[in-house]
Structure 1
Amino acid sequence: MIAQALTGLLLHLVAFSAAAPLAGPTVTLDSATVSGTSWGKTSKFLGIPFAQPPVGDLRFRLPQSLPSYQSNFNATNYGLSCMQQALTLPIVKGAAAEFSNQLLNSVFNKIVPNSEDCLTLNVVKPASATPSSKLPVVVWIYGGGFQIGSTSLNDGAIIVSRSIAMGSPVVYVSMNYRLSGFGFLPGKEVGEAGVANVGLHDQREALRWVQKYISQFGGDPAKVTIWGESAGAISISLHMLANGGDTQGLFRGAFMQSGAPIPIGDITHGQKYYDSLVTDTGCSGAADTLQCLRSVPYASLKAAINKSPGLFSYQSLNLAWLPRTDGVLLAEDPQKLVQQGKIANIPYVIGNCDDEGTLFSLSTLNVTSEDQVKTYLKDIFFVGTPDEQLDQLLNAYPRDITQGSPFDSGILNAISPQFKRISAIIGDGVFQAPRRWLLQHTVGKQNIWGFVHKRLKVVPILGSFHTSDLLDVYGGGEMADYLIRFVNTLDPNGSGALQWPQYTSQDRNLMTFRDGLIPLAITQDNFRKEGMDILTTITLARPI
């Protein structure tokens, strides 16, 4: 998202200014010597290919493994990012919108240059680590609504440097994965060809690369934790559900920020987006439309994808491009898989920002009346839901602006009569309720911890907005320390830290990150229970 991209860029620039690069380190991969860069007490190896370029006939196919590395190469710069879907500013309308959006995307594409040939990863290790060090490994999966995102926006040296200072060193890995229509193309044709969710498969291919090569960087392949935010955290939750909950030895723990198993339906639910893409690229008359799409020039295909609704469009988080059930990697709706207990039995941490929905409700300022809210929800998110059930939902999330999001902000931030109400419903429906559903169905079965991030509540309109918790991790806050301890021991607790109790059926504890003189507290996961229960009932019956 925009906030994450700008936050990541700021943290990256701050980190880069803190220490000057030194002479380059090397590692051996198969028969190749790979040269990286030094940064403080860390060594960085950037832009390492982990799969064959997904171009030409490999477009819209599962990632293909690389042959062994034979030639020496430099790994001193990030690889190009995968295709980034065009962004739109939700609050800019009329004649100014086209100019503003063009300027926004021009700047964003300079920050995050992208290409179809993008399947690279990065490794940051303590400079002193050797192939015999067997350090725990944290694998970062970026967010961005499955439409944007890049490894270059988050500097892993910040995490590794902090781990060294704590005396608990880790190895950090991040990977690019295919996004938007390139990574999450829906449609019956895609399902029949067995090439659904290739973005998730890219992530798993990178995890297989970690198993094969991370020991060369001092990491232990048996001690991998996957960590992500937003779409990255959703991806992690889906990896926990993939193949009936079999991790295939790829990871032993998970740390999820603002993402849980979301209510997604069958891959055919996105048929209209596939059909539009076929029409807009001139493939309608082809005998094999999927094969035709593989031959469309990159720029033309990207332009056609950019016509689809984006993150900040009117339909908001009812995304055009996202993972969907395919009967292979994901057998059925993730929330039902959670309900059935078909999930990896591993320790995990999961939590949310307090005001997850505010960023995604700015496009709904024209929705001002009770009837308009009901119509919006029925047309966009809860198609086919009975009016009686929608009325129950709206009663649970009343028009009273003091009960909306940003929460606990009283009469402030009500930039339209329904903005705070819609923000509360979207934030709970997409983020908070799925998190609680996951915790409720794994409690007592595995070691689990929950949190809520309530910092930056003073930010006008947005409050503790989606992605704001990243500042606590890549900014070196307490959450980074809890993460590093979890990666090392599968427990976020350690000496000198406020004890983070597990989430249990008796005490639904949440570590609460707050502003003010008492920055950490333990609270209970009992807020907005009626509303979240109704949301879960609705989405279980009719996943998107």
Structure 2
Amino acid sequence: MPRILPNLLLVIAAHLQLSQALPAGTPPAAASSTVDLPTVRLDNATVYGWNAVTVNEFLGIPYALPPSGDRRLRLPQPNDPYTTDFAAWYFGASCPQQDSTAPSAPAAAVPGLPSSNATGQAAADDEDCLNLNIVVPADAKPGSNLPVVIWIYGGSFQSGSASFYDGKLIVDRSIQMGEPVIYVGINYRLSALGFLASKEVKAAGVGNLGLQDQRQAFRWVQKYIGAFGGDPKKVTIWGESAGAVSVGFHLVANNGNNEGLFRAGFMQSGSPVPVGDITNGQQYYDFMVAQTGCSSASDTLECLRGVPYAAFKAALDQSPGIYAYQSLSLAWRPRVDGIFITDVPQKLVQAGKVANVPIITGDCDDEGTVFALSTFNITTDAQFKAYVKQYFFPTASSSDLDRLLWYYPNDLRAGSPYDTGFLGGLTQQYKRIASFMGDVAFQAPRRFLLQQRSQKQNSWSYLSKRFKSTPAYGSWHGSDLVNSWAGELLDYLVNFANNLDPNGKTQVPWPKYNNWSPLLLTFLDGPLPVTVTRDDYRDDAMDYLTDVSLRNPW
């Protein structure tokens, strides 16, 4: 999911960056010699980190072999045993980012929309990017057995970087709370390098490589986190947007067998979504083949592995990105590969093929507003119907689509940003499209997961309605990052990682979610910042969207 951020969130994002990034060749200023540095022993190597007063940081540690050369477009391979001492002082490379240009009309209409992707990654990108960052309390040591939080970044599966997020914020707060945790931020392959999809990819068994990278990082944590003072049996996987969708997919991967790799999942703006078969991405695969000169090859997948990186990158940059007209109907996304993801994720949820671990999942109130900014040329009911059919439900009947239009009417008062009356209608159809986008990809899948699983595994859910007065955006997608990295939600996360329950001594009580009392912890602007509300808004519309999605996975 994308990182289209108003000016406010860009400022917040700047504060989330790791301010300790060091120029190449410069050792940490606090270290006069290696004697002063924190170390861990990995296999036969000593790894030198550096101390940031309350925490120790180990940056850019490779967790798999470089996925380049002949390993491009193949499953991640475990790294060889560590045999040479090294300094983990600098971020490793970010995975290649797909360039994307914001549409000119929304950029002019909505102040603050950046002109290119806004992930703000601090590290340069390169194919050799499967690395992770670890932040631990300064007094952590083998045997401390601290809970571990693994962060999976968002960015529409086309951009993002672990180096953009400051794990020190999480660990410092956990220390202050007396419930210390270890933070791990991981990089994973993106765009066509991580989510190539076609009949050729399916036959080769190399689908969903970005998810497979994440899984390999989880395995690395199981093997090595004890050396840092972590407990491999106390791992929580946590993500936002594409990262949250990833968490949702790990819940249903391997038919719900999580291999003991994690004991809890925390999803911010993302759940198991109703994607279809991996062959549905054939047109984008064929585009890459044509753009890279591989059309005449007898084995086009093997040809793509041998294409020079610059040519491959140039081709993927020409493929549809999150700012493209199709928006949330992403060209590069997880799909059903038949091996790792064996069926439509929501059908796996229905069948009970879900990792039976405690979960937290929540959304922002106006998830769809930023995704509707590329659809300003849709001005009539007929155009909206055609758009939904082409990009979301191509196999749906005309009557199904007519009913959908009835549930999502062309009425500014019913659209998103919600509860703003006639305000925020950038075009005749904008608020309507925003409402549909937010529900089809975020709100309805979240509610469906909870309805199916909250009676079987401990579940909590939230709704963020902060920044509601932001013109045209409302409580936009990504705005809850403020809560989780520097606000109340952070304390709930720390409690959850420690105790498998978000509730603590000082927080507003967060009731479990269940079908007879579907309650949401709700974040508001104003004098009552945290309250509890019912998850019963747009019930009929979301039930219908779920029904259509199950019959027509997109």
Name the residue aligned to 1:399. 410
Q: Is the 8 A contact 2:18 2:163 kept in 1?
A: no
Match of 1:12 among 6, 16, 25: 16
Q: Is 1:187 aligned with 2:193?
A: no
Match of 1:22 among 27, 30, 33: 30
SS at match of 2:463: strand
Q: Is the 8 A contact 1:130 1:218 kept in 2?
A: yes
Match of 2:500 among 466, 490, 510: 490
In structure 1, how many angstroms separate the alpha carbons of the residues matched to 2:165 and 2:121? 16
Name the residue aligned to 1:511. 521
Question: In the superposition, relative to structure 1, how do residues 394 and 226 fare at CA in structure 2: closer, same or farther (>3 Å)?
Answer: same
Shift of 1:307: 1.2
In structure 2, how many angstroms separate the alpha carbons of the residues matched to 1:426 and 1:59? 33
Q: Is the 8 A contact 2:51 2:57 kept in 1?
A: yes
Name the residue aligned to 1:423. 434
In structure 2, how many angstroms separate the alpha carbons of the residues matched to 1:16 and 1:65? 29
Q: Is the 8 A contact 1:91 1:362 kept in 2?
A: no
1:162-185 Cα offsets, whole Å, 9 max, x none, are: 000000000000110000000000
Q: Is the 8 A contact 1:144 1:231 kept in 2?
A: yes
Q: Is the 8 A contact 1:87 1:101 kept in 2?
A: no
The one-letter amino acid paired with 1:349 is I
Q: Is the 8 A contact 2:263 2:357 kept in 1?
A: yes
1:305-338 Cα offsets, whole Å, 9 max, x none, are: 1111111111010000011111110111001101
In structure 2, how many angstroms separate the alpha carbons of the residues matched to 1:399 and 1:90? 23
SS at match of 1:389: helix
Q: Is 1:121 aligned with 2:132?
A: yes
Name the residue aligned to 1:44. 57
Shift of 1:22: 3.5
The one-letter amino acid paired with 2:65 is Q
Of the structure 1 ranges 517-526 and 4-13, higher mean CA displacement relative to structure 2 is found in: 4-13
1:365-405 Cα offsets, whole Å, 9 max, x none, are: 11111222112112221212112111211111111101110
Question: In the superposition, relative to structure 1, how do residues 13 and 108 fare at CA in structure 2: closer, same or farther (>3 Å)?
Answer: closer
1:29-63 Cα offsets, whole Å, 9 max, x none, are: 11111111222301110000000000110000000
In structure 1, how many angstroms separate the alpha carbons of the residues matched to 2:224 and 2:56? 16
1:197-245 Cα offsets, whole Å, 9 max, x none, are: 1111100100000000001111000000000001111111111101111
In structure 2, how many angstroms separate the alpha carbons of the residues matched to 1:103 and 1:384? 34
In structure 2, how many angstroms separate the alpha carbons of the residues matched to 1:432 and 1:101? 24
Shift of 1:132: 1.1
Question: In the superposition, relative to structure 1, how do residues 101 and 282 fare at CA in structure 2: closer, same or farther (>3 Å)?
Answer: farther
Name the residue aligned to 2:553. 543
Question: In the superposition, relative to structure 1, how do residues 210 and 501 fare at CA in structure 2: closer, same or farther (>3 Å)?
Answer: same
Question: In the superposition, relative to structure 1, how do residues 109 and 225 fare at CA in structure 2: closer, same or farther (>3 Å)?
Answer: closer
The one-letter amino acid paired with 2:72 is R
In structure 2, how many angstroms separate the alpha carbons of the residues matched to 1:101 and 1:400? 25
Q: Is the 8 A contact 1:160 1:172 kept in 2?
A: yes
SS at match of 1:52: coil
Q: Is 1:142 aligned with 2:153?
A: yes
In structure 2, how many angstroms separate the alpha carbons of the residues matched to 1:371 and 1:495? 54
**RMSD over equivalenced CA pairs, Å:** 2.1
SS at match of 2:239: strand
SS at match of 1:2: coil
Name the residue aligned to 2:83. 70
Q: Is the 8 A contact 2:42 2:224 kept in 1?
A: yes
Q: Is 1:81 aligned with 2:82?
A: no
Shift of 1:13: 4.8
Percentage of identical aligned residues = 52
Shift of 1:91: 3.6
Name the residue aligned to 1:170. 181
Name the residue aligned to 2:24. none
In structure 1, how many angstroms separate the alpha carbons of the residues matched to 2:540 and 2:106? 36
Q: Is the 8 A contact 1:88 1:101 kept in 2?
A: no
Q: Is 1:467 aligned with 2:471?
A: no
The one-letter amino acid paired with 2:3 is I
The one-letter amino acid paired with 1:29 is L
Of the structure 1 ranges 323-332 and 381-390, higher mean CA displacement relative to structure 2 is found in: 381-390
Name the residue aligned to 1:235. 246
Matches within 5 A, 1:42-441: 42-92=55-105, 104=116, 111-441=122-452
1:335-370 Cα offsets, whole Å, 9 max, x none, are: 110111110111010000111000110011111112
Q: Is the 8 A contact 1:211 1:221 kept in 2?
A: yes
Q: Which runs of 5+ in 2 are unaligned?
A: 22-27, 32-36
Shift of 1:110: 7.5
Name the residue aligned to 1:2. 3
1:63-119 Cα offsets, whole Å, 9 max, x none, are: 00111101011111111100111121124489x9xxx999746x9788452111100
Name the residue aligned to 1:33. 46
Q: Is the 8 A contact 2:121 2:164 kept in 1?
A: no
In structure 1, how many angstroms separate the alpha carbons of the residues matched to 2:515 and 2:269? 22
Q: Is 1:453 aligned with 2:464?
A: yes
Q: Under a length normalisation based on structure 2, what TM-score does the superposition of the two structures give?
A: 0.94
Q: Which runs of 5+ in 1 are unaligned?
A: none
Count of residues paired in the alignment: 537
SS at match of 1:22: coil
Q: Is the 8 A contact 2:106 2:376 kept in 1?
A: no
